A and B are shown apart, each in its own frame.
Chain A
Amino acid sequence: MNKDNKTFEENMQRLEQIVRAMERGDVPLEESLKLFQEGTALVARCGKLLDNAELQVTKISAGSDGTPVEEVFDYEP
């Protein structure tokens, strides 16, 4: 599977949770500070994941035993 995408998705979901928790306003100040730190770190990590990403492209065809064989596919950027 695609690890960076999974990380990105999880980070985005956690970020949403954090913003929601802070919006509820029932979190003690100390906890809010921690959430804020975690949130800004998540934002930075997500931005970096997008910056460094490059589309992976492959071509899949059935091998002689029928299982998928994956090879690189060049596309015209």
Chain B
Amino acid sequence: MDQQVLSITQINEYIRTLMDSTPALTALAVRGEISNYKVYPSGHHYFTLKDENSSLKCVMFKGSALRLRFRPENGMKIIAMGKISVYPRDGAYQLYCSALALDGVGDLHAAFEQLKAKLAAQGLFNPEHKQKLPQYPGVIGIITSSAGAAIHDMLRILNKRYPLTKAVLLPVRVQGVEAPGEIANAIAYANHFQLADLLIVGRGGGSLEDLWAFNDERVANAIYQSKIPIISAVGHEPDVTISDYVADLRAATPSNAAELAVPDQNALRQVLDSATDRMQTLLLRQLRTARQQLNALSGSTTLQSPAKYIHLRRDTLAHMQTRLISAGTQFVSKKKQNFVSLTAKLDAMSPLKVLSRGYAMVQSCDGAVVHSIQQVTKNTPIDIRLKDGIISAEILDKREDAL
């Protein structure tokens, strides 16, 4: 026996993986009648859906059950949205329900829930895909009928709230077979030619059938692919369409969309007023602080009376001047004294004074003073200077002093 033997856990796990990876089983809408409905203490709901021939085990976990809009009862005909998977412990497959809707309101509901489940599974409603709306949209593209009251309601509100914007109507049919294609095309067209900063896609109230274009997969995909942010504005407050789920923002009505699209000029004027107030307050505060600093500074003598300061300085200057002059005078008189005593000394040492005492000075013919007999030879002419004149003479003989 070369066949592989599996454990129960392995085969149940294998089937579960198989079912979970089958797209047809992951976004289902199933019609049936409720039986054996039980709410467990855990908050999870368990029941069976059946038709004439078959039954299907169903479970709805607490989180989804809390969002139920009605109380399910045995015998009720419903449409259950969810996915088929295996509960490995029992080896039983069951429908894991995410939402229940009452049946009997027609096939449209079923189709709606089916498409909603499918698009949700594809991620078209994911919050992280939502785009931010511009704060001050310059051009608002409105994709709706040019005929209905809705467009005029929107334009009136836009003009009242924020007349700085520009509204561009891209007229489309909003009901009938052609409507979904036209709406989807208009969204793509506005994107292709970058006709607006913001799009409003919608129409006024009507029957479920009238609003049906906005439950169309083409419209949903066009909204999802739009690079321009989109506000969905379909019907009245209770009407919820697929467009509302895909759009970046859902408005309850077209008028509400116009309100959400632009800021209100009254609020803007208040912002401007409060900015003025704020700037005034801040500037005054700064001025007050500056003045306080100035006051603190002007407590000093210098700034209180500049004249006094100058006067003080002038006194100092005069004093310095006096001292300088007296120092100068002293210097000069001292120098004068020095000079007188020096002159006396010079006078005392003058050769003429010496000559007057009877000494003579011998000079050679070139004027040099003769200090020694070595400077002269026999017969050399010399001059002998006395106090009153010069004697010219010749050397007769010279005798060296015996030391």
Contact = CB atoms under 8 A, between A and B. Distances in A.
A57 B279 contact: no
6 contacts: A5-B164, A36-B279, A56-B167, A60-B170, A61-B171, A75-B152
Query: Top 9 nearest A-B pairs by Cβ distance?
Result: A55-B159, A2-B138, A53-B163, A56-B166, A75-B155, A5-B138, A9-B136, A22-B282, A5-B164
Interface of B: 135-139, 141, 146, 151-152, 155-156, 158-159, 163-171, 189, 193, 195, 265, 268-269, 271-272, 275-276, 278-280, 282-283, 286-287, 290
B344 to A, nearest CB: 76
A15 B278 CA distance: 11
Q: Which of B141, B146, B164, B168 has the most CB of A within 10 A?
A: B164
Given A19-B278, A47-B272, A55-B159, A8 B171 contact: no
B105 to A, nearest CB: 36
Given A2-B166, A5-B165, A49-B164, A60 B279 contact: no
B135 A58 contact: no
Contact of B282 (A1, A32, A77): A32
Given A5-B137, A57-B166, 20 more contacts: A5-B165, A5-B166, A8-B136, A12-B136, A12-B268, A15-B275, A22-B278, A22-B286, A29-B286, A46-B272, A47-B269, A50-B269, A53-B163, A55-B165, A55-B166, A59-B146, A59-B168, A60-B169, A73-B146, A76-B152
B13 to A, nearest CB: 55
Contacts of B195: 60, 68
B193 A19 contact: no
Contacts of A25: 282, 286
B136 A77 contact: no
Interface string A15-45: 1001100110100010011011001100100
